[in-house]
Structure 1
Amino acid sequence: MQDEELAEIIRNLRTLGGDVSDVEVKKSQHELPKTVRETLSAFANTGGGVLILGLDETRGFAPTGVHDALKLSNDLASLCSTDMEPALRPLIHVHDFEGVKLVVAEIPELDPAQRPCFYRGAGMTKGSFVRVGDGDRRLSSYEVQIMLSSRGQPREDEQSVPGTGLDLLDPAMLEAFIARIRTSRPYAFKDLDRDALLRRARLLVTGPDGADSLSLAALIALGSYPQEHFPQLMISFVHYPPPTGDASAAGTRFLDNVTIEGPIPVMVRDALAAVRRNMSRRAVIGGAGRQDVWEYPETALREATVNALVHRDLSSAARGTQIQIEMYPDKLTIRSPGGLFGPVTIDNLTEEGISSTRNATLMRILEDVPIPGETRTVCENRGSGIRAMVAALRAAGMSPPQFDDRISSFTVTIPNHALLSEKTVRWIESLGERGLTDSQCIALAMLRDGEILDNRSYRSTAGVDSRVATAELQDLVARELVLQTGTRRWARYELSQRLRGRTSAGTSASTRADRRPQLLDALGDETLSRAELARRTGLTDQTVRRWLSIMREEGTVELVGSSPRSSTARYRQTRQGSLFPPADPQ
Structure 2
Amino acid sequence: MWTDDTIKPVLERLRSQGSDDGKFEAKSCTTSIGASVWESVSAFANTSGGTMLLGISEQDGFRPIDGFDADRVINQFMDGIGDGNPQGIRLTNPPTYRISRCQANGKPFLAVDINENPADRKPCYITAKGPSDGGYRRADDKDIRLSRTEVFELQNAMVPSRADREIVPETNLTDLNDDAVEHLLDIHKDSKALRGTTTRQERLARLNITDKQGNILLAGLLAAGQYPQQYFPNLVIDVAAYPETEKSAPAGPRFIDRTICDGNMPEAINQAVEATARNLRSTTFVVGSGAQTDAEIPREVLREVIANAVIHREYDARFVGTSICVDIYPDRVEVSNPGGLWGGVTVDNITDGISRCRNETLVRLMHEIPYGSQGLVTVEGGGTGIPLVIQQMRSRALDAPKFVAKPDRFTVVLNRYGAEYQDNKRWLTGIGTTLTNQEQSILMPLRQTSTMTVQQLHASLRIDSDDIRHIMERLATRGIITPTGPDEYAVTTPQTGIADDKPTTDKLSNTEQIVLASLSTETPLDVHAIVTRSGKGISTVRRVLRMLIVRNLAVATAPPSSKHRKYLRASSANTDDAIATDR
The question of a shared fold, defined as TM-score above 0.5 by the shorter chain, is answered with: yes
For residues 380-459 of structure 1, what are the structure 2 equivalents within 5 Å?
380-418=380-418, 421-424=421-424, 438-441=443-446, 443=448
For residues 465-544 of structure 1, what are the structure 2 equivalents within 5 Å?
486-487=527-528, 491=538, 492-493=541-542, 541-542=557-558
Separation of aligned partners in 2, 1:11 and 1:296:
42
Deviations 1:71-90 (A, max 9, x none): 11110111112111124443
Separation of aligned partners in 2, 1:566 and 1:143:
41
Deviations 1:432-480 (A, max 9, x none): xxxx9635356469xxxxxxxxxxxx99994479xxxxx9xx999xx99
Separation of aligned partners in 2, 1:428 and 1:101:
56
Instruction: Specify the alignment match of 1:218 in structure 2.
Output: 220
**Larger Rg: 1 or 2?**
1
Instruction: Specify the alignment match of 2:22 in structure 1.
Output: 21
The sequence identity of aligned pairs, in percent, is 27
Instruction: State the Cα distance separating 1:419 from its structure 2 match.
Output: 6.0
Separation of aligned partners in 2, 1:22 and 1:54:
17
Separation of aligned partners in 2, 1:348 and 1:442:
24
SS across alignment from 2:222: helix
The 10-residue stretch of structure 1 (25-34 or 4-13) with the greater mean CA deviation from structure 2: 4-13
Instruction: Specify the alignment match of 1:302 in structure 2.
Output: 303
Instruction: State the Cα distance separating 1:182 from its structure 2 match.
Output: 4.5
**Contact (CA 8 Å) 1:350, 1:463: kept in 2 or not?**
no
Q: Which amino acid aligns with 1:196?
A: E
Instruction: State the Cα distance separating 1:215 from its structure 2 match.
Output: 0.5
**Contact (CA 8 Å) 1:265, 1:372: kept in 2 or not?**
no
For residues 134-533 of structure 1, what are the structure 2 equivalents within 5 Å?
134-182=141-189, 186-193=191-198, 194-205=200-211, 212-241=214-243, 252-282=253-283, 293-353=294-354, 355-418=355-418, 421-424=421-424, 438-441=443-446, 443=448, 462-463=460-461, 486-487=527-528, 491=538, 492-493=541-542
Deviations 1:330-355 (A, max 9, x none): 222222111222311222222333x3
Q: Which amino acid aligns with 2:317?
A: S
Deviations 1:309-336 (A, max 9, x none): 1111111121111112222222222221
**Contact (CA 8 Å) 1:475, 1:542: kept in 2 or not?**
no
Separation of aligned partners in 1, 2:397 and 2:327:
22
**Contact (CA 8 Å) 2:397, 2:425: kept in 1 or not?**
no
Number of positions where the alignment pairs a residue of Structure 1 with one of Structure 2: 484
Instruction: Specify the alignment match of 1:519 in structure 2.
Output: none
Separation of aligned partners in 1, 2:543 and 2:323:
39
Q: Which amino acid aligns with 1:165?
A: N
Separation of aligned partners in 2, 1:497 and 1:358:
36
Deviations 1:75-128 (A, max 9, x none): 011111211112444333434555332223222322222321111222221111
Separation of aligned partners in 1, 2:12 and 2:489:
25
SS across alignment from 1:25: strand
Q: Which amino acid aligns with 1:386?
A: I
Residues 111 and 200 from structure 1, CA distance in 2 versus in 1: closer, same or farther, beyond 3 angstroms? farther
**Contact (CA 8 Å) 2:176, 2:225: kept in 1 or not?**
yes
Using the size of structure 2 for normalisation, the TM-score is 0.71
Q: Which amino acid aligns with 2:361?
A: T
Residues 129 and 427 from structure 1, CA distance in 2 versus in 1: closer, same or farther, beyond 3 angstroms? same
Deviations 1:470-512 (A, max 9, x none): x9xx999xx9999666417755247679979x96xxxxxxx69
Instruction: Specify the alignment match of 1:558 in structure 2.
Output: none
Residues 285 and 269 from structure 1, CA distance in 2 versus in 1: closer, same or farther, beyond 3 angstroms? closer
**Contact (CA 8 Å) 2:448, 2:546: kept in 1 or not?**
no
Residues 255 and 12 from structure 1, CA distance in 2 versus in 1: closer, same or farther, beyond 3 angstroms? closer
**Contact (CA 8 Å) 1:265, 1:371: kept in 2 or not?**
yes
Separation of aligned partners in 1, 2:58 and 2:462:
37
**Contact (CA 8 Å) 1:285, 1:422: kept in 2 or not?**
no
Note the aligned Cα RMSD (angstroms).
Answer: 4.4
**Contact (CA 8 Å) 1:443, 1:461: kept in 2 or not?**
no
Residues 254 and 565 from structure 1, CA distance in 2 versus in 1: closer, same or farther, beyond 3 angstroms? closer
Instruction: Specify the alignment match of 1:40 in structure 2.
Output: 41
Instruction: Specify the alignment match of 1:579 in structure 2.
Output: none
For residues 67-106 of structure 1, what are the structure 2 equivalents within 5 Å?
67-81=68-82, 82-96=89-103, 98-106=105-113
Residues 495 and 383 from structure 1, CA distance in 2 versus in 1: closer, same or farther, beyond 3 angstroms? closer
Residues 2 and 269 from structure 1, CA distance in 2 versus in 1: closer, same or farther, beyond 3 angstroms? same
Instruction: State the Cα distance separating 1:418 from its structure 2 match.
Output: 4.9
Residues 242 and 263 from structure 1, CA distance in 2 versus in 1: closer, same or farther, beyond 3 angstroms? same
SS across alignment from 1:414: strand
Instruction: State the Cα distance separating 1:129 from its structure 2 match.
Output: 0.5
Separation of aligned partners in 2, 1:495 and 1:162:
53
Instruction: State the Cα distance separating 1:56 from its structure 2 match.
Output: 2.9
Q: Which amino acid aligns with 1:487?
A: H
Using the size of structure 1 for normalisation, the TM-score is 0.71
Residues 268 and 293 from structure 1, CA distance in 2 versus in 1: closer, same or farther, beyond 3 angstroms? closer
Deviations 1:531-583 (A, max 9, x none): xxxxxxxx97528x99xxxxxxxxxxxxxxxxx9999xxxxxxxxxxxxxxxx
**Contact (CA 8 Å) 1:284, 1:421: kept in 2 or not?**
no
**Contact (CA 8 Å) 1:399, 1:418: kept in 2 or not?**
no
Q: Which amino acid aligns with 1:111?
A: P
The 10-residue stretch of structure 1 (299-308 or 375-384) with the greater mean CA deviation from structure 2: 375-384
**Contact (CA 8 Å) 1:94, 1:101: kept in 2 or not?**
yes
Q: Which amino acid aligns with 2:217?
A: S
Instruction: State the Cα distance separating 1:9 from its structure 2 match.
Output: 5.0
Residues 542 and 305 from structure 1, CA distance in 2 versus in 1: closer, same or farther, beyond 3 angstroms? same
The 10-residue stretch of structure 1 (84-93 or 359-368) with the greater mean CA deviation from structure 2: 84-93
Residues 18 and 394 from structure 1, CA distance in 2 versus in 1: closer, same or farther, beyond 3 angstroms? farther
**Contact (CA 8 Å) 1:24, 1:134: kept in 2 or not?**
yes
Instruction: State the Cα distance separating 1:16 from its structure 2 match.
Output: 6.0
Residues 44 and 199 from structure 1, CA distance in 2 versus in 1: closer, same or farther, beyond 3 angstroms? same
Q: Which amino acid aligns with 2:202?
A: A
Instruction: Specify the alignment match of 1:532 in structure 2.
Output: none
